[in-house]
A and B are shown apart, each in its own frame.
Chain A
Amino acid sequence: MDFIDYAKQRYEAAIAEINRLKNSEFPYDQIREALVALEDLFTRQVSSLKKLKLTSSPSIAKNACGQTLACLFGYTPFLGFIVRATNVRNAFEVYSPALRLAKQLLGPDTKLLLSSEWDYSPFILMTPELPNFVLIGVPAFESSNPLIMSLAGHELGHNAWSKEMLGRKHDPDIKKEVLTALMGKHWAEFTSFQPTATHANLTTDMFVQPAWLPAFAYASRQLEEIFCDMMGLRIFGEAFLHAFAYLLSPGIPGERYPLYPSVVIRARHLEAASKLLGVDCPTGYQDLFSKEQDITSPATRLLCSVADDATAQLVDKVTKDAFRIADDKGLPTRDPAKVQKIVESFAMVAPTDGRNTMTDIINAGWICKKRDDLWTNVPQIRPETKSQVLADLILKSLEITEFYDRLGSP
Chain B
Amino acid sequence: MLANPLAPELASLSSDAAVELDLLINGETTDLGSVKELARYLNETYDHTPTAAAERRLAVDTATETILGRAFVQAGDDHASILSNLFDRTRKVASELSSADSSHDPGSLEWVRAFCLALSQSASAYRQLILNSRPENPYRR
Contacts and interface: CB of A to CB of B under 8 A. Distances in A.
Q: Does B associate with A? A: yes
Contacts of B69: 206, 209
Interface in A31-88: 48, 51-53, 55-57, 59-61, 63-64, 66-67, 70-71, 74
A209 B126 CA distance: 13
Interface in B7-34: 7-9, 11-12, 15-16, 18-20, 22-23, 26, 28, 30
B117 A63 contact: yes
Contacts of B83: 203-206, 209
B99 to A, nearest CB: 21
Contacts of B7: 127-129
Given A56-B23, A162-B4, A51 B16 contact: yes
Interface stretch (A167-175, A264-272, A274-282): A167-175
A201 B8 contact: no
A64 B20 CA distance: 11
Interface in B72-119: 73, 79-84, 113, 117
A206 B134 CA distance: 25
Given A56-B26, A206-B69, A71 B133 contact: no
Contacts of B19: 48, 51-52, 56, 60-61, 64
Interface string A249-292: 00000000111100000000000000000000000000000000
A67 B84 CA distance: 30
Interface string A205-220: 1110110011011100
A257 B135 contact: yes
A221 B20 CA distance: 35
B119 to A, nearest CB: 10
By size class, the interface of chain A is 35 or more
A260 B28 CA distance: 49
A214 B120 contact: no
Given A53-B28, A71-B8, A60 B117 contact: yes
A223 to B, nearest CB: 13
Nearest to A259: B133
Contacts of B47: none
A204 B66 CA distance: 10
B80 A51 contact: no
A204 B84 contact: yes
Contacts of B63: 217
Contacts of B70: 206, 210
A175 B62 contact: yes
A320 to B, nearest CB: 21
B52 to A, nearest CB: 18
B54 interface: no
16 contacts: A48-B15, A59-B117, A63-B18, A64-B16, A67-B8, A167-B61, A203-B83, A206-B69, A206-B79, A209-B69, A210-B70, A216-B62, A217-B130, A257-B133, A258-B133, A259-B133
Given A51-B19, A162-B4, A204-B81, 12 more contacts: A53-B28, A55-B23, A60-B113, A60-B117, A70-B8, A127-B7, A128-B4, A205-B83, A206-B82, A206-B83, A209-B69, A213-B62
Interface of A: 48, 51-53, 55-57, 59-61, 63-64, 66-67, 70-71, 74, 121, 127-129, 162, 167-168, 171, 174-175, 201, 203-207, 209-210, 213-214, 216-218, 221, 257-260
